[in-house]
Structure 1
């Protein structure tokens, strides 16, 4: 059908350009037969026309080569020689007619399709590129050029250059839209392929965006039509897979509902399911439902879908590709079972998969399934059987192209050797495996000691991230056993390569469990090695920079996006910069460096950067991609300390940064410290008659905290801890009584807040204190009882700053939305509700119990100077690996709030009000936010000797930009008025005196 369309386009073009009646008549007849796909009769028409004396010689030559094209279409052997002869003829014409250009492009299309099937993608692309570069390309018909550009996009994507592929997809997309409008199947297919191309350059944002565009068009097209090819089922299947991998379970669920709806809507009768398309759609349906249920930990439902898939009598499993889907189902569930220690059930599914792979000779499945089988035996400490399974997998790994299984299996064997006390054999096997990998990539011999990231920079997958850091782990274990410094150096290098691969693999979005696991394992290895190596200052700097640059950027990106929006940035320019930066990275990572291309891209980036504001340039300079720990050090005062914690699998490490140095230290066992902090927090959140001291956790955390000003950047479970409650048993003081304490989410934020002063138009304050339906006064700010002191607090603060207050009924959600971006400081004295199982259900509660949810806060553009959440548990929530606590306060940062004050537990109403009012009075005096809060707590401790327990005073902390709200300088308006008044008084006095002197003189 595609060939018919191509020939139809050609015939139309020739009809327009024909010079003789007989030639035109022959074209018309050929078109008639072409329409019925009778190429043989069409060929006879041209053969008869060649004998017509009225047809001129140039037309006969053209017809002869056209007949060669028909011969190719009619031949089962697909003899490419005829196509080559026709192409040579058309290329020899110095000035082609449009119909000749048209034929040349169609011949080229046939040739590169042939080469793609018989030779390879590279050879196919070479032919396609050659005809694309002809000078008269644009005189071919629009339809032909559009299809040709689309094919170029596909070919570039296939050879691994998706950046060029995306360019050609976008060119063809513009032309498709020009011809058919946005709501067209060809446009949707182009969007779908663009999505796939973006997966290859690790841009998940665009992958999802373009799949969504394709889905939207197909929704419009097939709303009232039969979707023969089930495009909607396919695209929702792809979106479900993407969203599950991204960790966005809610969107995955929405897309699954759509997929299931279309599947059941179409396949309702025996007639509708008796075709090949049904099998493909049923496979997508089954796999998507299995994946979704496993992601939701609903194993039984996943197993039921598997059973239905197995028992479907309409699935023709006699075909090899059909068995492929069933084996995939077995693998998906087996992986889940292995992770949950259900080894017997996992082995049962693996055996079923192996049976099918053997029956249909699908050896690639034998490799993956035997590897999983080996993993089960290893987890059961049956090392001999595990090794045997890995060796079986190796024998079946007969792929003649580069694949990760070859190297992964060797590593897994090395792991078993090491556990069997064959450490030398283990290390030697790792050495040989890595060196073989290097040879396979470059065809050059290179030792493991000399490996560089540039040698393996294209291996951006979890398989190779695992290979390098786990190989580094074996070398490090061997070093600890034999103290061979060469092993230590190799281990360090392998971990660093793994970290750089992880950085390339990470999509810059929200961390998930898998990303956090990889990052944590790599960091722990690097820190352990650093303590053994005793790093120089420069080596420490490089290490910390590498670690921080691969950390989660999701929160920072959301915050910066809202800040840029507030500063009227051109979103179009910013998007272009990000796209160019990704393209630049791709070209710099190639084996053959295209210096000219790199220079052009860099020039374009610099040109766009000049059009952005200083705010964006500051963000770009201080972002995690460009992070430098030395810049943090340079912003600190002599009495200032920044502590960044890393809670890893086995140990907690800390990075201490001061003006003169920074140090990396191992603090404690992760399991021990976690247990101690959990116990301590349980005591802290309730009132105990005995004065609470924190000796157990203080011995781990307090010794190095001796600066006047300390900023904590916590990680993992340490986010729950108010560090100011650490108690020094020697001087009998809490940390808050000897240091000013504040918090930040990451080092990039800290640096940005220190160096970049963002302009917020308004300095005004607004306070909200609602009433609640339950009029019983609450002692703590939990539940939904009325809060007496919260209203007094809001009034006092509002009066102090000549601000605005919304009390009782006026403290509504509607009024809050009306005031967004009209004030610089927002104060919420109200209840909040915490849902740790689903953070999106956590909320602030306004008047009439109106709820402002986490998800709503997250989506706002709300770049205020400061928001004070004078409510319970606003800093608490679900702890997400690699991200921190998903809390209401964190949602504010997502929204663009520069600094926030929030609570870590259910705080008491009266005492909270006292501390918060004191905090604002200190701010009014010009103190920084961290000083103001620290002094408010000190004042409370001094004024309330019977309320020394941290429950009363330690619940609130400040996070983010700690710069003052009010300047410490005098009010220059008043001073100016006084000075002017004084000067005028002196001047009047002088004139009067002068006048009197003059009078005396004349007398």
Structure 2
């Protein structure tokens, strides 16, 4: 059901007109010529070009729209920048171009600028203002910010209704009203689906009856939206066990009505529109409606597969010349191929026919090639568009096909490819490879080379690599690299509810040993099946996805009879963001004069962290640490290590982790990602700094990962609420071991072991197991100033002794000489 919601949102993003004016190309040519021959292009001419640019965008011809938009902007510069409707229109078109290539944040920024200019200079032009409010509502619809979308779209409708007919005909009223109807549906559907969808259908009919020059362009879109409303009703009332309000007869009626409307839309698009994108989207929509209406049966999946193939075929048969247009086509194709994989997997699981598995592998491999091509052609610093494409590719389906083919054939290539794609599926890896290899193409060989190096590395060393992978199709897979070979284990998905026991302080004194039982259960699920591969090994590298990233592997308990012996006591556990590459490691830290940078704010509303405050004071005396109250100050210091001792929490309202710098100042991970300087090691000693929203391939989207995205190769976080005293004592020992030359992972392991030994009253896993290090096993040159002082004192003492000896020698010689003279 989540995918149909996501797809419904994506449908709203790609809107196309049904008919292209016959004289469009000639009209553009004439207007361009007029503008180029005139000494000064008139504002009305430039406004017409803006409108034609918008038509190009709606027809999927992005390259022509970009060309026209550039032409308008150059003309405005040529005449000297003046605030005119043509200028705001050019900004609006620029926003539509960005929106069409899924760079939503940048489109929103441009449209906000346009709205501010209109408010300042054209406050009486209600139609222009209505377009800006509607554009921003589209962004909020895309981001599923439903309340904001409703507010902005309602304002747009109020403005357009107060316009004169002449002014309304000059702006895109059908688009404004359509945006409002979509926001209205999403806003009011919650708990009132039937009434809302019927109202939406009625509103669309009434909008279609309002005279407007562009109305005919939108008739297929209105029919499509109306069909979607009936589809929503068909899905909501379908007869299935999980549905609380089934109404089979009404559901079937709505489905039939939706299909009639989709057929009507298909007729209009075939008759008037030569753009293949909306036709492909329509077949895609019919496939999804078929799937979610009639369930997971063989016949239904075959019908869905037929629609998906038609959708892909339409895009295959139509070539476009522009670079952006080709990317636009491929993005749509990738979306269809993702859902086609779903249908093929369902058919394979239902029938166990190898032909379906072979077709699945062919489809996912082809989709992978499209994905790579799109990634290589989307060059942007912010990688916003790249992230949208990344979300469209279904690594899980490709990995499922490769593992199934390995089971059937025993061909190791399939297993190697599956492991490679498991690692490659991380957006962090994608981000790193593109930032570190700007001038080279992103390709699979880069990852395969990394896999082969790791496999060879384990052949002659005491290292083993474990990649914990989970998906809807493969609930539990462990890829194991050991003794120069790649193997894997698969089983049923473990019960992660045990993790909640670990984070609950009420279980510290539990007489039932609930925490230790949970740790032993997790050990039996995660480690015991692969113990044979760790014989004779010392270093265990663990890469986790989804729920696995919340597991404190070093605290897992092999034997309930020995509660003081943990998995981390036998092996050096190293949690890794990736088993392949460094996450964006910046190499500008070695010139830094600051070793440690501490952030330890004071609070009035919240209790002060007294032990962590003492820790920061000790770091200042022992390692010349620079202290500050705000994170931004790190940009002026560029330290090796950042120590944050503060209050933190997971904000469930925005589903993001947050850092409290004082009673009111909150820092989110987006601010961390935008820091101009990042440390080599980030120690985030605060509550729930390691907690975040679980992403499909990434694991936990927490504050630690935000530092990794910004270039920090190793981070230390807390999986649950950190105890002030325990965390301060552990980190104090951590810095001591670090200064003695221990790598970061080993330093934390030794620090936690020493803490349990010296403080048996806090040996319970609640106090120490939450503190986890993730990233590379770095060694940094951290020198203690106290040790320097000790060396200075020893040198001074030694120097004094030598001087005293020399003086004594001189004295004795003089005395001997005097005695000889007396004789």
Conserved 8 A contact 2:595-2:782: no
Alignment of 1:576-591 (within 5 A): none
Task: Choose the corresponding residue for 1:741, options 564, 573, 595.
Answer: 573
| Aligned mate of 2:757, from 928, 935, 942 | 942
Q: Kindly report the root-mean-square deviation, in angstroms, between the aligned alpha carbons of the 2 structures.
A: 5.6
Partner of 1:932: 747
Secondary structure at the residue paired with 1:477?
Answer: helix
2:558 to 728, 749, 753: 728
Give the counterpart of 2:480 among 656, 662, 685. 656
Contact 2:599 2:627 in 1 (8 A): yes
Q: How does 1:824-835 map to 2 (within 5 A)?
A: 824=639, 825-835=641-651
Q: Which residue number corresponds to residue 697 of structure 1? A: 522
Superposition deviation, residue 176 in structure 1:
2.3
Tell me the distance in 1 between the aligned counterparts of 2:632 and 2:311: 62
State whether residues 645 and 713 of structure 1, in contact with CA within 8 Å, keep that contact through their aligned partners in structure 2: yes
Q: Which residue matches 2:467?
A: 644
Offset of 1:930 from its aligned partner? 0.7
8 Å contact kept, 1:266–1:272: no
**Is the 1:645–1:654 contact (alpha carbons within 8 Å) kept by the matching residues of 2?**
yes
CA contact (8 A) 1:832 1:842 kept: yes
Partners of 2:386 and 2:327 lie apart in 1 by: 27
Contact 2:140 2:149 in 1 (8 A): no
The match for 2:322 is: none
State the Cα distance separating 1:936 from its structure 2 match: 0.9
Q: Is 2:311 aligned against 1:488?
A: no
| Shift of residue 929, structure 1, vs aligned partner | 0.9
Quickly say closer, same or farther: Cα 1:623–1:641, change in 2 above 3 A.
farther
1:435-450 equivalences under 5 Å are 438=313, 441-442=316-317
The DSSP-based 3-state class of the residue aligned with 1:644 is: strand
Q: 1:466-545 alignment to 2 at 5 Å?
A: 466-474=338-346, 476-477=348-349, 480=352, 482=353, 484=354, 486-501=355-370, 509=384, 519=394, 521-523=396-398, 525-534=400-409, 536-545=411-420
Flag the 1:893–1:849 CA change in 2: closer, same or farther, 3 A. Answer: same
Distance 1:464 1:945, change over 3 A: same
- The alignment's TM-score, normalised by the length of structure 2, stands at 0.72
Ranked by relative contact order (alpha carbons within 8 Å, sequence separation 6 or more), the top structure is 2
1:789 is aligned to 2:611? yes
Deviations 1:861-897 (A, max 9, x none): 3412223222222212343455543433344445554
> 1:511 Cα shift?
11
Q: Partner of 2:77 in structure 1?
A: 177
Does the 8 Å contact 1:722/1:954 carry over to 2?
Answer: yes
1:117 pairs with one of 21, 25, 44: 21
Cα shift readout 1:423-448 (whole Å, capped 9, x = no counterpart)? 9xx7799589849965994599xxxx
What is the distance in 1 between the residues matched to 2:97 and 2:159? Answer: 31
Kept in 2, the 8 Å contact 1:191–1:214? The answer is yes
| Equivalence map 1:615-630=2 (5 Å) | 617-618=436-437, 627-630=446-449
Q: Which residue of 2 aligns with 1:219?
A: 119
- In structure 2, what is the Cα distance between the partners aligned to 1:267 and 1:408? 32
Q: Give the direction of change, closer, same or farther, for the CA distance of 1:438–1:673 in structure 2 (3 Å limit).
A: same
* CA–CA distance in structure 1, aligned partners of residues 197 and 291 of structure 2: 38
Q: Which whole-Å CA distance do the structure 2 matches of 1:302 and 1:718 have between them?
A: 40
Q: Is the 8 A contact 1:657 1:663 kept in 2?
A: yes
Closer, same or farther in 2 for the Cα pair 1:275/1:836, shift >3 Å? same
Establish whether residue 464 from structure 1 lines up as the match of residue 360 from structure 2. Answer: no
Q: Distance in 2 between matches of 1:231 and 1:357?
A: 37
Whether contact under 8 Å (2:334, 2:367) holds in the other structure is no
SS in 2 for 1:696: helix
* Partner Cα separation in structure 2 for residue 244 and residue 231 of structure 1: 20
Provide the C-alpha distance between the structure 1 equivalents of 2:55 and 2:417, rounded to a whole number of angstroms.
40
Q: Could you tell me whether the CA contact under 8 Å between 1:742 and 1:959 is conserved in 2?
A: yes
What CA distance in whole angstroms lies between the structure 1 residues aligned with 2:447 and 2:768? Answer: 36
Q: Take 2:250 and 2:335, find their aligned partners in 1: how far apart are those partners?
A: 25
Say whether residues 1:803 and 2:675 are aligned partners. Answer: no
Does the CA-based 8 Å contact 1:154-1:165 persist in structure 2?
Answer: yes
Task: Give the TM-score of the pair, scaled to structure 1.
Answer: 0.60
Shift of 1:206: 4.7
Q: CA deviation at 1:655?
A: 3.0
SS at 2:516's partner residue? Answer: coil
User: Which string of whole-angstrom CA distances, capped at 9 and with x for unpartnered residues, describes residues 166-217 of structure 1?
Assistant: 2442233222233262632223323333333344545445544444444344
User: What does the per-residue CA deviation read over 1:924-946, in whole Å, with 9 as the maximum and x for residues that have no partner?
Assistant: 11211111001111222333455
Paired residues of 1:410 and 1:433 also in contact (CA < 8 A): yes
Correspondence for 2:543 = 713
Q: Secondary structure at the match of 1:741?
A: strand
After superposition, the Cα gap between the structure-2 partners of 1:551 and 1:892, relative to the gap in structure 1 and judged at 3 Å, is closer
* Structure 1 residue 279 displacement after superposition: 6.6
Per the alignment, in what secondary structure is the counterpart of residue 158 of structure 2? helix
2:136 to 239, 245, 249: 239
Task: Confirm or deny: 8 A CA contact 1:183 1:221 kept in the other structure.
Answer: yes
Match of 1:779 in 2: none
CA distance in 2, matches of 1:932, 1:512: 35
What is the CA distance between 1:415 and its match in structure 2?
A: 11
SS at match of 1:864: coil
List per-residue Cα deviations over 1:513-541 (Å, max 9, x = no partner).
99869736525533542442456454444
Question: Pick from 200, 204, 228: which aligns with 1:331?
Answer: 228
1:361-389 per-residue CA deviation (whole Å, 9 max, x = no partner) reads x664577xxxxxxxxxxxxxxxxxxxxxx
CA pair 871-785 structure 1, distance change in 2 beyond 3 A: same
Matched residue SS, 2:359: helix
- In the alignment, is the contact (CA less than 8 A) between 1:286 and 1:309 conserved in 2? no
2:597 — aligned with what? 766
Q: Which moved more, 1:414-423 or 1:333-342?
A: 414-423
CA offset digits 1:518-575 (Å, max 9, x no partner): 736525533542442456454444445556555435x975x89xxxxxxxxxxxxxxx
Bigger drift between 490-499 and 849-858 goes to: 849-858
Show the 5 A alignment for 1:282-681. 283-284=177-178, 286-290=180-184, 293=187, 298-300=190-192, 307=199, 310=202, 317=209, 325=222, 328=225, 331-332=228-229, 334-335=231-232, 338=235, 341=243, 364=263, 402=276, 403-404=279-280, 405-406=282-283, 434=309, 438=313, 441-442=316-317, 458=330, 460-461=332-333, 464-474=336-346, 476-477=348-349, 480=352, 482=353, 484=354, 486-501=355-370, 509=384, 519=394, 521-523=396-398, 525-534=400-409, 536-546=411-421, 548-549=423-424, 551-552=426-427, 557=431, 617-618=436-437, 627-631=446-450, 634=453, 638-650=461-473, 651-657=475-481, 660-666=484-490, 668-670=491-493, 672-678=494-500
How far, CA to CA, are the matches of 2:136 and 2:111 in structure 1?
Answer: 7
CA 1:695–1:458 in structure 2 vs 1: closer, same or farther (change >3 Å)?
same
Deviation at 1:313, TM superposition (A): 12
Gaps of 5+ in 1: 1-114, 368-393, 445-453, 561-577, 579-615, 775-783, 807-811, 990-1003
Residue of structure 2 in register with 1:995 after alignment: none
1:951 Cα shift? 1.0
- Alignment counterpart, residue 836 of structure 1, candidates 646, 652, 661: 652
Larger radius of gyration: 1
| Structure 2, gaps ≥5 residues long | 1-18, 237-241, 320-325, 807-823
Segment of structure 1 superposing worse, 636-645 or 142-151: 142-151
CA contact (8 A) 1:330 1:349 kept: no
Q: CA deviation at 1:835?
A: 2.3
Moved more, 853-862 or 819-828: 853-862
1:958 has 2:780 as partner:
no
Q: Is the Cα–Cα contact under 8 Å of residues 646 and 661 in structure 2 kept in the other structure? A: yes
Taking the aligned partners of 1:311 and 1:478, their CA distance within structure 2 comes to 42
